[in-house]
Amino acid sequence: MMKYNTGSGDLTNWIVEEAAFTPKFQGKCEAIFCQGNGYMGVRCATEESYTNQVRNTFVAGTFNKFDEYDVTELPNAADVTALDIWIDGDLFSLDKGSFTNYSRTLNLKTGEVVRSFEWTNRAGKTFAFAFRRFMSLADLHTMALHVSITPLNESAQIEIQSGINGQVSNSGAQHFHEGEKRIFDKQHLQMLQQTTQSKITFVHNATHSVVAGNETVGSRFAMDRRKVYMIYKADVQASQTLTLEKISNVYTTRDLTHEHLSLDELRSASIADLIASAGRGYNALLAESVAAWAGFWQQTDISINSQRDFDQLAIRFAMYHLRIMTPAHDSRMGVGAKGLSGEGYKGHSFWDTEIFLLPYFTYTFPEIGRSLLEYRYKTLGGAHKKALENGYKGAMYPWESAWMDDGEVTPVWGAADIVTGKSTKIWSGFIEQHITSDVAFGVWQYYQITGDEDFMERYGYEILLDTGIFWASRLEWNDERQRYHINEVIGPDEYKEHVDNDAFTNYTAYWCIENAISYYQKLKAEKPAVFARLNEKLSLDVEIPVLEERLAKLYLPQPTAEGVIPQDDTYLGKQIIDLSKYKAQEHVGSIFHDYSLDQVNQIQVSKQASVVMLMYLLEHKFGPEIKRANYNYYEPKTLHDSSLSLSTHAVLANDLGDTTLAYELFRRASEIDLGPGMKTSDHGVHAASLGGIWQIVVCGFGGVRMVGGKLRITPSLPEQIDAIQYPIYWQGNRLNVSVSKQDVSIVNETKKSAITLIVKDNEYTFTDELTVHL
Amino acid sequence: MMKYNTGSGDLTNWIVEEAAFTPKFQGKCEAIFCQGNGYMGVRCATEESYTNQVRNTFVAGTFNKFDEYDVTELPNAADVTALDIWIDGDLFSLDKGSFTNYSRTLNLKTGEVVRSFEWTNRAGKTFAFAFRRFMSLADLHTMALHVSITPLNESAQIEIQSGINGQVSNSGAQHFHEGEKRIFDKQHLQMLQQTTQSKITFVHNATHSVVAGNETVGSRFAMDRRKVYMIYKADVQASQTLTLEKISNVYTTRDLTHEHLSLDELRSASIADLIASAGRGYNALLAESVAAWAGFWQQTDISINSQRDFDQLAIRFAMYHLRIMTPAHDSRMGVGAKGLSGEGYKGHSFWDTEIFLLPYFTYTFPEIGRSLLEYRYKTLGGAHKKALENGYKGAMYPWESAWMDDGEVTPVWGAADIVTGKSTKIWSGFIEQHITSDVAFGVWQYYQITGDEDFMERYGYEILLDTGIFWASRLEWNDERQRYHINEVIGPDEYKEHVDNDAFTNYTAYWCIENAISYYQKLKAEKPAVFARLNEKLSLDVEIPVLEERLAKLYLPQPTAEGVIPQDDTYLGKQIIDLSKYKAQEHVGSIFHDYSLDQVNQIQVSKQASVVMLMYLLEHKFGPEIKRANYNYYEPKTLHDSSLSLSTHAVLANDLGDTTLAYELFRRASEIDLGPGMKTSDHGVHAASLGGIWQIVVCGFGGVRMVGGKLRITPSLPEQIDAIQYPIYWQGNRLNVSVSKQDVSIVNETKKSAITLIVKDNEYTFTDELTVHL
C-alpha cells in the first residue's frame, strides 16, 4: 500500500512511502524505489529474501550477449544488498510471525531509502528493525547499507550472513564467468567477474562493521560458488542494538575514468577506496551524496500548487528517476527503456530517449541532453551497418540500441501467440523505422533550444544529413500514384504491423529529408570547413540532389473529408469492435487474451498515440481542427497499452483547450509507476512515461514549446492546478517560469531580466516581446 | 524432524517421514527424498517455493562446461516441480498462517513421495493439501505429480501457475540456451533447450488436467523468458476438491534409445508419449512404476532383525538411493558422488564408484556392475590423455570423471583459506593418483565374483594391463634407498597433500603391477587371440618386462616396531594435537575454522581411512595384529570428515572382532543421510556412504568377502542384531544367506542346493565344503 503524504516540513511532497508490505507486490517498490546515479542502478529488493523477488544491480553500458541466439543486454551484476538474518537460528522473514509499524520510504530529496518495522517472531520475541541504504551521487561507485536490530523484550542470538553474491542472473541468463574471490585482512571482500562475451571485468568490493551494544561482533568468512561472504554472530541483550554497516563499491574495466589502470591497479585502487569510504562511515558518505542531490534539485525542481499534493510528488518522482537512470557521466551510453530499474527491455535505448526523455534534459540539463545525443553519434557505426544489411544508404538507426557498434539489438521472439501457441515474432527490429527520424528530431530540437553550435559541428549536422540520406534511399516508387511510398513498416502504433505509408513514418521522413537539404544548404553557404569535411564523408553533393528529387514526390497521407489523416493505407478500412472491455482493464495487453497479433492487425485498435504523436512533434504542420478531428477519431481506438501514450494525449488535449481531459490524462500518466496500482512496475519503471510527466507539466500545462526555432510559452492550467513554477534553459539562459491563473512571470536568471504577463479572460496574452527579450 | 517408524503392515520399515516442516532444513529432504531412476534424478524441493531452496533436475551423462574456467558438470535442467499456488490472491507458503498434521513420506517400496497437511491462512480459511509425485522406474522419461486442495471451512479462489521453467541454473551457472517454447492445442507445453558447449538438446514436455468438483478448470497459457506455463483459476466451494494432475517427460539427444531420431521426430514422439501417458493418468502410471520397483526389491531386499528398526529402514534407504542414482540403462555413464540428488561434486564419478558402490552391484546386480566398469573402459581415452599430459604411459584415470573423453575434470579452486583469504587450490586432480588402482581393483573384484569372461575379454584385461603399465611408468627411482618411490601424491587421506610413498598408493600400485604381470602371463598362455590383440594395442611384450623389473624394487612402507605402517614418509613424525573438539563437531571440516590446509598438513590428523582402507581392500596381505595396531593408531587421528570413512572402519572393527564398535560405526554411517541430523545432506546424498552401509551389513556383519578368487562367508553379528538375510550372486548363482546367532543358512537358488552351518561358542565354523559346493 502506497502512501504519498508522509513528508512534512522540509520534506513535504518529497517522500514516497510503502506503508504496508505484501510480498506479492514487492516488484512495485523494487522498481519505483530503485536507487542509483546513472553509473549504476540497484533495484530496491528487501535485504531479506522472498520468493519471486527480483534483485538487480546494473552498471550502465556493460552490455553482454549470453549466446548467439540472444541479444545483448545489461547483465545483472553480483549483489551486495541481500542479507540472511537468522534470529535464534530461524531465518528472518516478514512472512513469519507478525509485524507492525511497517514503513519503507524513498526520500526523493536525498536518494535514501529507509525501512523500519517491529517484528515479533513465533516465540513472542519482538525486535525493532531499521534498514537504510543509498547509492552515492557524489561517488558513483559507492553504495552503503546501515542495519539496526534491537531485541525489545528478550535477548536473542542474531546471525547475519552478508557479502557479494554472483549467483544472480538475468532470469536465468548468466553473463559472468565465476571469477576470482578474495578476502583481504579477514574482512574486506573482493570478487572479480568478467562478462562472457564483451569481456568487461567487474570489480566488486564490500566491507562491514558490526557492533552489538558497544562491542565489535566476531566474524568468520566463507566462499561458495560465485559467492564470498562474512558471517557475524552475536548474543544481543534486550534493548541493546546490533548495527551493521556495509560499504560496497563496484568498478568495471569499461569505466572511462579508470581506463588507464591495469586490472591489478584497479583492484588495489578500488580496495583502497573501499577502506577509505568505510573509514568515513555511512553518515558521512550519505552527507556527501545528499549534497550532490541538493545541487541537482536546485537546478531542476518544479513546484506545482495543486489541489492534489500527489502532483507535486509525482513530478519530483519523475525527475528523481530521470536522473538515476541516465548515464550522464559517459556519452558512450544511452538510457534504457526501464532505466536501470529492471530487466525489462534489457537496458536497450529506444525512441523513448529522443521523444520522451530528451526534452527534459535539453531544457533542464543541456549538457546531459548533449551527452545522450553524442551517444547516438557514437552508434552511427551500428546505424550504417543496419542500413547496409537492409540495402539502404546512410544512417538507419536500430530500433533498440545497446553498445556503440552493436547495431540492431531488438529481440526476434516475444510472448506466446494465443492461436498458434508459438512465440510471436517481434518485427520492430526489422521494420519499425521511424526511430531514425526520432533521433534526427532530437538533434534538431536540442540545437534549436540550446544553440549549441559546437555540438552541431562535431556531431549534429552529420546525424541530420546522414539520416536524411537514409530516408531518401528507403523510399519505394509507386507507379500507380506516381509517388514515393514507404511500405511494410510499423509506426508508433505497434498493433499494426507491415503497413504501407504509416502517417507518422512518412511525415517525419519528409521532415527529415527536408531538414537535411536545408542544413546542407546552410553549411555550404555558411560553414565551408564543416561542409567540406561532411561532403567528403557523406558525398553530399551527390546525395542531396537525390533527396531533393525524392522529397518532392514523397507521398504524405492527406486528411479525409472529416479531417482524419489515415494512420496508414488500410487502417480506416479495418473492422471496428467494442474495445470497452480492454480499455477498462488494469493490465495492459489484455486484448491478447482474446486475439492474436494477426487478428489485432485487422481491427481499428491502436496501442498508443501515432497520428496524435505526429501532431505533437510537428505541430506547426497541422491546424487545430485537424488536430481535434484526429484526436477525437483515434483516442477512442487507443488502448494506451504503451506507457508512451498518455502523456502525448495529455499535451494534445491541453493544446486543444480541454484542460479537464488533459488533467485526467496527466493523473493517469503520473500514476503509471508512482500510483496505487501495485503490479504496473514489476519489470522496471517506465522511463518514457516519466519523461512524459515532465512534458505534460512543462510543455502541456506550462506551455513551453520550441516552434520553428523560437521559444513559445503558452501556459494553460487545468482547474485542479493553481500555479506551477519551473526552470528551463533557453539558448544558455536560465529562465524561471511561474504560471498562475492570474499571471505568468518569466525571470531570466542569467541576464537578470524579467517579464510578467497578465491573464485576461482565462487566456494568457503573449507578445513577440517574450522571444525578443530572451 | 524425521520419523522412521511410520510404515505399518506391509510398509513396516519402508517409509521415511518428515514429520515437521522447517524451511531452514529443507535441503535435508530435498536430497534424501530425491526421486529418480538412474536416467534422471529430481531433488524433492517442495512444490511451493521457499528462500534457499535448491530445485534440481539432472539427466545422467548430459555434462556441459559453462566456460573455459569451469569444469564440466551435470546441468540443472528445466524444472517442472514448482507450482505457484495463489489462494484468494495470496501466494501460498507454509511460512504464512499456520499448519497442522504435516507429513511428507518417501515410500522406498514404490518410490512415491506424498506430502499432506492442513493449512489455515491468515484470514482463517483452512485447506487440506495433498501432493504426490514419482519418477517412473518403468518409463525412465516420465514423471507425474498429483495435487489436491480442499477448502475445509469456506470457499476460496485458487489459482495455480504450473509449467516448464528453464530459469534454473547450477548456483548461477547457466548451461542452456534459452531454446524454443511451444504450446500445442492450448494445453501441451514443450520447451527445447540445448546445452551451450556439449550441444545436447533437452526436450521437455508437460501437460495438466485440472478439475474442481466435477468441472474442468479453465486455463490460460503464457510464456516468459525461459519459461512456458499454464494458469488455472477456479472458485472452489468448501469441501469441494481441486485436483491437478501434471504429467511431464524429458528426453535428450544424448539418449541412446532415441539416437536414430531427428530432433523433429524426437519432439513429435515425446509429445505423443506425453499425451498417451496423460491419457493413462497418475494412478495407472504409478502402478507401472511400482511394478518395476517390486522387481527391484525382489532381487535385492535385505532383512535385518535388529533391536533398532531403523537399521532395516537404513539398508533399504541405501539400496533405494543406489538404484535411483545409477544410470543402469547406459554404460557410457558413471555414478556421481552425490548421485543425481544435488549439485555437489558436479555429477562427477570418483573412486567412490569402485570402492564403495561397485561391491553392491557386483554382488546383487552384476549387469549393473558390469555397466559401471564398461563406463571406465569407455573413459580410457581420457585416461590416456591424462597420462600423456603428465609424461606417463598407460591409463592414468582421472580423479574426477565425467563424459567419456573428458579426462580429468577435478576443479582447481575450492573454499577460502583461513590464512590467505584466497581460494584453496585443489590438488586431487593433479596428484591423487590411487584412483587408477581403485578402478583396476573394481575390475578384478567384479571378475572374481562374477567370472564374467566376456567382460574381461572385451574390456577387463585391457584395463588391468593398461593401469599396470601406467604405474610402472609413474615410479621414481630413489638412489639412496635403491628402490622405486611414488612421490608427491595425495592418498585417500586428503588432509595430507604432496606426500611421498603414501602406503595406500604404493601398496595398491604394487598390487596393480603384479596383477598386470600375472594376467599377461595367463593371456599369453591361455587366450592367444585376446593376447595378440592386446599385445598389439599395448605393446605388452615390451612393457611387461619393465613392470617385472620395477615391481621387484617398488618400495612398500613397512610396519614400525609397534606394527604401525607409516601412512607416508613423514606422517609419523608430525605434530600430535588434541582433536576432541573437532571429533565432537556435528559439521565436517570444522578444523578449517582454526587451521589452514597447509597447517593441517603438518599435524597427525586424517580426513578418513587410508592405511585402514588398504587393510580392507588387500586384507590377505596383513595379519590381524597388524590390522589391530593400525586401526588403534589411526582411528583416533581420523576425523571421519569424509563420509567414506565410517563404513571402512566399521567393517574392519567387525573383522577385528569388535562388533560393539562396528555396530556403533554402522549406526553413525547409516545416519549420515537418513539420520536426524538436518544439515548433512544439503548438497546431495553421500553415494559412497550408502554403498558403505550395504558393505557393513553384507561384508561386515554378513561376512561376505572374496579372497583370492574364493567366496568366504564369515558372519559376525553385533549384539543389537539378531539376524540378517541377504541375497548375493556368486559366479552366476543366486545365494540367499540367512545369518542368525544360531546358524548360517545358504540357499543356492540357482542350483536349488542349500547348506547350513551351526554356530558353536559364538563362532561360526566353516569348511571348504562351502566353496566346493558353490
Quick: pLDDT tens for B647-685. Answer: 999 999 998 889 999 999 999 999 999 999 998 899 999
Asked if pLDDT for residue A767 goes beyond 70, the answer is no
Which residues in chain B have their CB less than 8 angstroms from residue A171's CB?
167, 224-226
For B:214-233, CB contacts with A below 8 A are 220-226, 228
Over residues A95-134, the pLDDT tens digits come to 999 999 999 999 999 999 999 999 999 999 999 999 999 9
Strand, helix or coil at B301? coil
On whether the CB atoms of residues A484 and A475 are closer than 8 A, the answer is yes
Which residues of chain B make contact with A416, given a CB cutoff of 8 A? 181, 183, 221-223, 228
The pLDDT of residue A761 is above 80 = no
Q: What is the dihedral of CA A103, A109, A113, A117, to 10 degrees?
A: -20
Tell if the CB–CB gap between A172 and B181 is shorter than 8 Å: no
Gap between the Cα atoms of B305 and B312, Å rounded: 7
**Buried-state track B442-464, b at ≥16 Cβ within 10 A, e below 16:** bbbbbbbbbebeebbbebbbbbb
Cβ atoms of B33 and B44 closer than 8 Å: yes
Contact between residue B634 and residue B606 where contact means Cβ atoms under 8 Å apart: yes
Is the entire prediction scored with pTM above 0.90?
A: yes
pLDDT bin (cut points 50, 70, 90) of residue A766 is very low
Cell 598438513 appears where?
Answer: B601
Q: What percent of chain A has pLDDT over 70?
A: 98
Nearest beta carbon to residue B172 from set A49, A168, A422: A168
Confidence band of A340 (pLDDT split at 50, 70, 90): very high
Q: What is the mean pLDDT of chain A?
A: 94
Q: What is the pLDDT of residues B571-612, one digit of tens each?
A: 999 999 999 999 887 677 889 888 988 899 999 999 998 999
Look at residue A769 and tell me whether its pLDDT is greater than 60.
no
Measured distance between the N- and C-terminal CA atoms of chain B, rounded to whole angstroms: 47
Residues A602-637: pLDDT tens digits? 999 999 989 999 999 998 899 889 999 999 999 999
Chain B contact for A423, CB < 8 A?
A: yes
Nearest to A184 among B49, B174, B421 (CB): B421
- What is the bridge-based pairing of β-strands A733-740 and A476-478? unpaired
The pLDDT value given to residue B593: 85
Report the distance separating Cα B741 and Cα B757, nearest Å. 11
pLDDT tens for each residue of B275-297: 999 999 999 999 999 999 999 99
In chain A, the N- to C-terminal Cα span, in Å, equals 46
Give the per-residue SS3 of B622-635.
CCHHHHHHHHHHHH
Distance CA(A354)–CA(A692), nearest Å, equals: 11
Cβ(A338)–Cβ(A58) under 8 Å?
Answer: no
Contact B179, B163 (CB under 8 A): no
pLDDT tens track for A2-54: 999 999 999 999 999 999 999 889 999 999 999 999 999 999 999 999 999 99
| pLDDT tens digits along A356-413 | 999 999 999 999 999 999 999 999 999 999 999 999 999 999 999 999 999 999 999 8
Q: What is the pLDDT of residue A760?
A: 53
In this prediction, residue B565 has a pLDDT band, given cuts at 50, 70 and 90, of very high
Domains of chain B with CATH codes: 2-261 (2.70.98.40), 297-342+644-774 (2.60.420.10)
What's the pLDDT tens digit per position in A413-443?
A: 888 888 888 888 899 999 999 999 999 999 9
Give the whole-angstrom CA distance, residue B100 versus residue B86. Answer: 19
Is residue B15 over pLDDT 60?
Answer: yes
- For the segment B738-765, the average pLDDT, to the nearest whole number, is 76
Query: Which residues are CB-contacts of A368 (< 8 A; sequence separation ≥ 6)?
Result: A326, A328, A361
Calculate the CA dihedral of residues B417, B419, B422, B428 and round it to 10 degrees: -40
**What is the DSSP secondary structure assignment for residue A701, as one 8-state letter?**
I
Contact flag A421-B183 (C-beta cutoff 8 Å): yes
More confident site: A202 or B594: A202
CB B306 within 8 A of CB B727: no
- Between CA B98 and CA A171 the distance in angstroms is 31
Q: How much is the pLDDT for B759? A: 62
The 8-class DSSP code of residue B732 comes to T
Best probe of the B interface among A174, A180, A227, A593, by most B CBs < 10 A, is: A174
Question: Contact B183/A416, CB-based, under 8 Å?
Answer: yes
Residue B208 has pLDDT above 50, yes or no: yes
SS3 assignment, position B678: coil
Predicted confidence at residue A418, as pLDDT, reads: 81
Alpha helical stretches, state H, B144-281: 263-280
What is the rounded distance in angstroms from the CA atom of residue B60 to the CA atom of residue B39?
5
With 50 as the cut, is the pLDDT of residue B12 above it? Answer: yes
pLDDT in tens, A583-604: 887 677 889 888 988 899 999 9
Among all residues of chain A, which has the CA nearest to that of B594? A220
pLDDT tens figures, B440-459: 999 999 999 999 999 999 99
Q: Which tens digit of pLDDT belongs to each residue from B689-733?
A: 999 999 999 999 999 999 878 888 889 999 999 999 999 999 999
pLDDT of residue A754: 76
What is the pLDDT, as a whole number, of residue B599? Answer: 92
Residue A351 annotated as part of some ligand binding site: yes
pLDDT of residue B767: 43
CA distance B67 to B350: 22
Is residue A486's pLDDT more than 70? yes
Q: Report residue A770's pLDDT band, with 50, 70 and 90 as the boundaries.
A: very low
A529 Cβ contact partners less than 8 Å away, ≥ 6 residues apart: none
pLDDT band at B79 (very low <50, low <70, confident <90, very high): very high
- The reported pLDDT for the residue numbered B212 is 97
- Distance between CA atoms of B644 and B650, rounded to whole angstroms? 11
Q: At what angle do helices B263-280 and B282-300 cross, to 10 degrees?
A: 100
Q: Which residues contact B214 (CB under 8 A, 6 or more apart)?
A: none
Neighbours of B566 (CB within 10 A): 17
Q: Is the pLDDT of residue B85 over 80?
A: yes
**What pLDDT was estimated at residue A771?**
43
CA angle A32, A37, A39 (to 5 degrees): 120
Q: What is the ipTM of this complex?
A: 0.93
For chain B, helix (H) and strand (E) counts, in that order, are 22, 31
Res. B760: pLDDT tops 60: no
Mean pLDDT for chain B overall: 94
Please check whether residue A683 touches B, CB under 8 A.
Answer: no
CA distance A432 to chain B (A): 23
Give the percent of chain A with pLDDT over 90: 87
Quick one: angle between helices A645-655 and A659-674, nearest 10? 160
* Ranges A74-88, A162-176, A655-669, B119-133: which has the least confidence: A655-669
Q: Which residues of A touch B168 (CB under 8 A)?
A: 172
Mean pLDDT along residues B329-336: 98
Chain A residues within an 8 Å CB radius of B596: none
Say if B25 is an interface residue toward chain A (CB within 8 Å).
no
Distance CA(B541)–CA(A755), nearest Å, equals: 109
Which of B91, B345, B678 is the best residue to mutate to test the A interface, defined by the most A CB atoms within 10 Å of its own CB?
B91
What confidence tier does B550 reach under pLDDT thresholds 50, 70, 90?
very high
Instruction: Give the helix/strand (H/E) hosting B562.
Output: none
How many whole angstroms separate alpha carbon B307 and alpha carbon B720? 5
List, as ranges, residues 402-421 from A with C-beta within 8 Å of B: 415-416, 421
Which one of B55, B93, B98, B597 makes the best mutation probe of the A interface by having the most chain A beta carbons within 10 Å? B93
Please say if the pLDDT value at position A236 is more than 90.
yes
Q: Largest Cα–Cα distance of chain A, in whole Å? A: 88
Q: How confident is the model at residue B758 (pLDDT cuts 50, 70, 90)?
A: low
Neighbours of A565 (CB within 10 A): 23
pLDDT for B350 beyond 90: yes
Q: Which residue's C-alpha cell is 572382532?
A: B657
In A262-391, which residue ranges form alpha helices assigned H by DSSP?
263-280, 282-300, 310-324, 352, 358-364, 366-378, 380-389
| pLDDT-based confidence at residue B489 (cuts at 50, 70, 90) | very high
Per CB-CB distance under 8 Å, the chain B contacts of A166 are 172
Q: What is the rounded distance in angstroms from the CA atom of residue B463 to the CA atom of residue B460?
A: 5
Catalytic residue among A374, A494, A543, A671: A494
Q: Can you say how many angstroms the Cα of residue B184 is from the centroid of all Cα atoms in its chain?
A: 38
Is the model more confident about A744 or about B328?
A: B328
More confident residue, A76 or B752: A76
